[in-house]
């Protein structure tokens, strides 16, 4: 059994999720930040890759500004080689943090290390493990490689995208990084469930299409 997986991210009109330098930029508007924090408050776990921890240093907590008396979902980081720095905000002890790795050869403060996979994290093993610990609803917040892996391995049950009204250009990181499709059969089709306006942007909700090209 696996948790219900919701991927959530904000992207530009040309499908980019950070600046060309890899640095984080504000793509969400206030309405979207509120929606994201409410969504965080409704899940059991929030997951990011080590790339996002190293570039953005998110705390993955819920701001009282957006949600009164917030819950504290478990924070989950995928980090095959335990590259996480000890001063990362996800290690501040404000809520539980689990690091999935392929090794367990050092102590990391305020984090539980769990091993799944040999070269990089085996997502199915990790999802199974999370479910067995009571994580029934999981929010995946990025970045490109993590989103790409979840989509490519058909592990997302829902994808929510805030489309921000900016173009960023070709060298900024794509929303989902995986091997580029070279033929129609390699494209991954999604079903559009809803489209709505959110302030100056657009909110898109997608689900996997019943007939996916990659299956
Ligand atoms: N706009 C948004 O909503 C948003 C949200 C979050 C992040 N971002 C942006 O995303 C960018 C970071 O993306 P990123 O691709 O560099 O990093 P990432 O997706 O956060 O993390 C990728 C790393 O996770 C590890 N990993 C372990 N198992 C994996 C698996 N099965 N599949 C994929 N990765 C696995 C790998 O490193 P190891 O091999 O070392 O484990 C991999 O390099 C930043 O620029 C950030 O600002 C944007």
Task: Give the count of beta carbons closer than 10 Å to the beta carbon of residue 90.
Answer: 25
pLDDT tens for 33-54 read 999 999 999 999 999 999 999 9
Nearest to 12 by CA among 201, 204, 180, 208: 201
Tell me the β-bridge partners of 45.
74, 138
Q: What is the pLDDT of residue 131?
A: 98
Q: What is the pLDDT of residue 209?
A: 87
Q: What is the pLDDT of residue 56?
A: 96
Q: Which of 103, 143, 164 to mutate to test the pocket of ligand 1 (most atoms within 8 A of CB)?
A: 143
pLDDT tens for 66-75 read 999 999 899 9
Q: What is the pLDDT of residue 211?
A: 55
> What does the alpha-carbon distance between residue 130 and residue 111 come to, in Å, rounded to a whole number?
15
Q: How far is the CA of 55 from the centre of ligand 1 (A)?
A: 9
> Is 3.40.430.10 the CATH classification of the domain at 4-208?
yes
Residue 173, pLDDT above cutoff 50: yes
Query: Please, are residues 4 and 136 in contact by the beta-carbon 8 Å criterion?
Result: yes
Residue 207, pLDDT above cutoff 70: yes
Q: Which of 20, 28, 52 to mutate to test the pocket of ligand 1 (most atoms within 8 A of CB)?
A: 52
Q: Which residue has the higher pLDDT, 211 or 43?
A: 43
Lowest mean pLDDT among 88-97, 110-119, 206-215: 206-215
Nearest to 152 by CA among 205, 188, 192, 116: 188
Q: What is the pTM of this model?
A: 0.96
Q: What is the pLDDT of residue 210?
A: 66
pLDDT tens for 96-152 read 999 999 999 999 999 999 999 999 999 999 999 999 999 999 999 999 999 999 999
Going by CA atoms, what residue is nearest to atom 30 of ligand 1? 121
- Compute the 3-state secondary structure of the chain and give helix, strand, coil in percent, each to the nearest 5: 20, 25, 50
């Amino acid at each position: 059994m696996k948790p219900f997986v919701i991927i959530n991210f904000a992207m530009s009109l040309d499908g980019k999720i950070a600046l060309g330098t890899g640095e984080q930029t504000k793509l969400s508007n206030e309405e979207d930040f509120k929606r994201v924090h409410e969504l965080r408050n409704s899940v059991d776990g929030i997951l990011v890759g080590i790339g996002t921890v190293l570039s953005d240093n998110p705390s993955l907590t819920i701001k009282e500004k957006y949600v009164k008396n917030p819950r504290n979902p478990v924070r989950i980081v995928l980090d095959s080689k335990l590259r996480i720095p000890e001063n990362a905000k996800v290690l501040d002890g404000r809520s539980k943090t689990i690091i999935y790795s392929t090794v367990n050869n050092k102590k990391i403060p305020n984090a539980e290390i769990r091993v799944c996979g040999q070269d990089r994290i085996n997502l199915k093993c990790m999802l199974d493990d999370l479910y067995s610990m009571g994580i029934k609803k999981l929010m995946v917040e990025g970045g490109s490689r993590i989103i790409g892996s979840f989509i490519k391995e058909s592990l997302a049950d829902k994808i929510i995208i805030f489309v921000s009204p900016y173009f960023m250009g070709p060298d900024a990181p794509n929303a989902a990084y995986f091997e580029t499709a070279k033929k129609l059969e390699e494209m991954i089709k999604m079903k559009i469930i809803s489209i709505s306006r959110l302030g100056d942007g657009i909110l898109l909700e997608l689900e996997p299409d019943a007939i996916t090209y990659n299956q």
